Chain A
Amino acid sequence: MDAIYDIMEKILPFSWVEYNFMKNALLAIIIITPLFGMLGTMVINNRMAFFSDSLGHSALTGIGVGTLLGIRDTNLSMVMYAVVFALMLNYINRRRTMSTDTVISVFASLSMAAGLMILSRGGNFSRYSSLLVGDILSISSPEIGLLLIIFIVSLAYWSLCFNKLHCVGVNVTLAKSKNIRTNLVEDTFSILIAVIVMLSIKWIGILIVNALLILPAAAARNISSNMREYHLFSVLISVFSGIAGLVLSYYLGSATGPTVVIIASILFFITFVIGTSRGK
Chain B
Amino acid sequence: MNNFDSYRRNFLSIVGITAGAAASVTLAPNLLLREAQAKPDDEAVTDAKRWGLLINVDKLEDGGDACIAACKKEHGWGDDPKSNQAQDAQWVRKVKVTEKLTGHSFSLPVMCQHCETAPCVDVCPTGASMKRADGIVQVNKHICIGCRYCMMACPYKARSFVHETLVDQRPNSPRGKGTVESCNLCVHRIDKGENPACVDSSPDAIVFGDLNDPDSTISKELEQNGGSQIRADLGLNTGVRYQGI
Q: Do A and B bind each other?
A: no
